[in-house]
Amino acid sequence: MSFHDSVVYQVYPRSFRDSTGNGVGDLRGVIEKVPYIASLGVDHVWLNPFFPSPGRDNGYDVSDYRAVDPAMGTMEDFEELVEALGGHGIGVMVDMVLNHTSTEHEWFRRALEGDKHYQDYYILRPARADGALPTNWVSKFGGPAWAPFGDTGLYYLHLYDLTQADLNWRNPAVRAEVADIVNFWRGKGVRGFRFDVINVIGKSEVLLDAPPGTDDRAMYTDGPDVHTYLRELAAASFGRDPGTVTVGEMSSTSIEACVGYSDPANHELDMVFSFHHLKVDYAEGQKWTTMDFDLPALKRVLNDWAVGMQAGGGWNALFWNNHDQPRALNRFADPGRYRVESATMLATVIHLMRGTPYVYMGEEIGMTDPAYTSIGDYVDVEALNAYQELLTQGLTQEEAFDVVRAKARDNARTPMQWEPGPGAGFTRGTPWLRPANQDQVSVEAEERQGRILPYYRRLIALRKQYPVVSEGSYEPYALDHPDVLAYQRHHEGQHLLVLCSFRAYETTIEVPADFQDSRVLVSNYDDEPTWLASDGADVAVRLRPYQALALLVSCPVRSSLQTD
């Protein structure tokens, strides 16, 4: 299947390249950088929302689904971008934010004006007899998930910001509108869709309180109707284009649900994003905390998902970074002492796995979180709400700031660093968000003498050259090793062993005897691996700080090497 050997590049347009000098990235800026994107060897570009929006949540509060925000350009610019990328065989993946609309969307405005037709587009409920809100659910951006619906006495549901009103997917008219929006973009030559938080669209008619002490997300996540709605949407829109690639963002989900969403037999989506591997640095499961990441937990989660999705016939979207996550380099490795090794090791973990890798802009040059020093440097609504909430909980300003610095989504949204200098080659004006460290890290420097960018290009190419990477089965390896994340892949007589050290010190790991005659498919160190004699039939290899080593052997079926 074609998306098995594909790689997706994610562009956050506000932060990629500003062609006008107003400090905000735009579509013409992306057009200017098409040759760079093509040079990576990727197959699709996922563009974060560029639709008209009041911008309370940086475009995830859409006020018109069929237009381009004037700050981002014009529809002609978009068409030109589709064509320019298409000229390199690269498809555009558009971000469909269909769980909620902005409260400035015409549907919501008409609903507020009393239009019953549009009132049924949203989830409106009266207060309870005692005046309490309809349920005890909380917004993912803080505070209650209900807000007064004008002066009607009703409340509307907003799982996200106050200005992001949840749509009522139980209403067939909403489902028809949504399919029509997807078809509009199909008509523009779009052959890829990313569906924002799509696993929360299936809310029940009767909305219930989360029982005391339980997580309210269970009350509306992965509801039984999601599958029905997705199948219906696929049949009415993207499912009609066999080459279209689709990915659903699945919030707080399960392997079982994700198998359902991505098993081809179900005709829902091609693949899913899940986030459990990015919660291994959440103290007690809470995002707005700080904690060193838990390597055993990270290994366990990645392995469980690889095994479980494979067993069920599902397919993972593989990623470390996106516009909502602090940079993985800062979270899971050592950008200070081992930036190059860390970045290339992390990339190896993802790119040789079973699934479709996603590269978030800047990751391929080893961009890191900015070292901001004041809360005034942060702009994201989620971070600013969280900061206030932490102060309310009794943290000092300094403590609250430390948490924001570690967890804010702004960390990922700093401008793409094209070159050294004040605007980072991103803008000739004042950037909307201060770049992190363009004088140390930039595309220009990487192209000249860097080791991260060429390594990414190589990994992306390997997926196309080696079916064991794109199609091979996944097999766990050394799950109990304290320092190394490892796995095997197998495909028609080819066997791959991937060893990735998450430590800043040297470590050793046993290698099955069958890999003694292997060759190095890829490594982030230039020298040959150091082999060590070990117990029994196995040998061991020494891994240097943050070393990634992938060994390939071609051989007929042997007892110790499984085949698919």
Residue 509 forms beta bridges with which residues?
541
> Could you tell me the strand order of the sheet in which 519-523 lies?
473-477, 484-491, 494-501, 548-554, 519-523
Catalytic residue check, 517 = no
CA distance 142 to 136: 13
CA distance 450 to 67: 39
Q: Does the CA dihedral 462-339-380-285 come out positive or negative? A: positive
Q: Does the CA dihedral 241-357-354-43 come out positive or negative? A: positive
Q: Which helix (H) or strand (E) holds 29?
A: helix 27-32
Please answer whether residues 263 and 312 qualify as being in contact, where contact means their C-beta atoms are separated by less than 8 angstroms: yes
Smallest distance, ligand NOJ to C-beta of residue 271, A: 16
Smallest distance, ligand NOJ to C-beta of residue 322, A: 7
Chain contacts with ligand NOJ (rule: CB under 6 A): 57, 60, 97, 160, 196-197, 249, 323-324
C-beta of 157 vs 345, nearer to ligand NOJ: 157
C-beta of 53 vs 501, nearer to ligand NOJ: 53
Please identify the residue of the shown chain whose CB is closest to the bound ligand NOJ: 60
Please pick, among 57, 161, 249, 380, the residue that the annotation labels catalytic: 249
Smallest distance, ligand NOJ to C-beta of residue 410, A: 12
C-beta of 323 vs 463, nearer to ligand NOJ: 323
C-beta of 8 vs 485, nearer to ligand NOJ: 8
Smallest distance, ligand NOJ to C-beta of residue 62, A: 9
Please answer whether residues 343 and 320 qualify as being in contact, where contact means their C-beta atoms are separated by less than 8 angstroms: no
DSSP 8-class letter at 103: T
Task: Name the packing angle between helices 452-465 and 339-351 (round to 10°).
Answer: 10
Smallest distance, ligand NOJ to C-beta of residue 404, A: 16
C-beta of 177 vs 324, nearer to ligand NOJ: 324
CA distance 364 to 216: 37
Please answer whether residues 44 and 460 qualify as being in contact, where contact means their C-beta atoms are separated by less than 8 angstroms: no
List Cα–Cα distances, 379 to 57, 368, 376, 492, 527, in angstroms. Answer: 10, 18, 7, 51, 44
Smallest distance, ligand NOJ to C-beta of residue 471, A: 29
CA distance 8 to 350: 12
C-beta of 105 vs 489, nearer to ligand NOJ: 105
Smallest distance, ligand NOJ to C-beta of residue 166, A: 10
List Cα–Cα distances, 529 to 118, 510, 521, 550, in angstroms. Answer: 65, 13, 12, 11
Q: What are the tokens at 251?
A: 């919030």
CA distance 69 to 50: 6
Q: What are the tokens at 349?
A: 């973990």
Smallest distance, ligand NOJ to C-beta of residue 196, A: 5
Q: Does the CA dihedral 371-377-412-397 come out positive or negative? A: positive
CA distance 79 to 417: 26
Rg of the chain over CA atoms, in angstroms?
A: 24
Q: What are the tokens at 2?
A: 């074609």
Q: How many CB atoms lie within 10 A of CB 402?
A: 14
Q: Which residue has the tokens 């009609």?
A: 240
C-beta of 64 vs 324, nearer to ligand NOJ: 324
Please pick, among 5, 61, 196, 341, the residue that the annotation labels catalytic: 196
CA distance 254 to 221: 10
C-beta of 261 vs 487, nearer to ligand NOJ: 261
Smallest distance, ligand NOJ to C-beta of residue 428, A: 27
Catalytic residue check, 249 = yes
Smallest distance, ligand NOJ to C-beta of residue 360, A: 11
CA distance 9 to 22: 25
For the chain, how many helices (H) and strands (E)? 17, 21
Q: Which residues are catalytic?
A: 196, 249
